[in-house]
Each structure stands twice: as structure tokens, then as C-alpha cells.
Amino acid sequence: MNQSKAMSLLGLANRARKVISGEELVLKEIKSSRAKLVLLSKDAAPNTSKRIQDKCLYYKVPIVMIDNREELGSAIGKEARVVVAISDAGFAKKLTALLERT
């Protein structure tokens, strides 16, 4: 239940232009400290998954795993997405709270 609430909130964040998707763009956001939260699909390729997790660890960006890429993509009205970054602290905090309860 909470995951669908979280996905609705992610859609809202996306409309507010606070969501960045795509591996390279997300990595750039992490490096520049603009990413407040990273959502990574559990079905991401091992290399992608490792790169994103290593960067998040190094730059101390919280990361939350999402069940699959389709869910992540549809939440922001796009094709399947493996990784997205939230660039707004308020949205990031609320999303983290919702997703940690699932």
C-alpha cells in the first residue's frame, strides 16, 4: 500500500520538476550533491546497480530499492526507468518515510 502512495508522491515530485531519471544524469546529480534521494530498481543491471550504490555511498546519498523498473517508470509517466534521483529534500524525506514502511 505504502509503495503505491510513494509512487504517487514520486509522480507529484516529477511534475514539480524535482525528479531526474537516467543513469548518467543521476550520477551527475549525486556528484554535484543535488540528489537528496536515489531510487534504484531491484532489476537494474549488476554494473548499473553497483555504480549507483557506490556513488551514493561515497557521496552519502540515501538510496532506496524499488521492486522493478516498470513501476519506477510509470510513476513518472515514462518508459521503464532503472534509477531516478529526487532533488528536493522535502520530497526525499517523505518518500523515504513511505518506502521504509513497506
For residue range 9-18, list pLDDT tens digits in order.
999 999 999 9
For residue range 37-80, list pLDDT tens digits in order.
999 999 999 999 999 999 999 999 999 999 999 999 999 999 99
Q: pTM to 2 decimals?
A: 0.94
Q: List the domain boundaries for the chain.
A: 2-100
CATH of region 2-100: 3.30.1330.30
Q: Is 85 helix (H, G, I), strand (E, B) or coil?
A: strand
Place of cell 549488476: 46
Taking CA atoms, 72 is separated from 19, 32, 42, 49, 87, in Å, by: 11, 23, 10, 15, 16
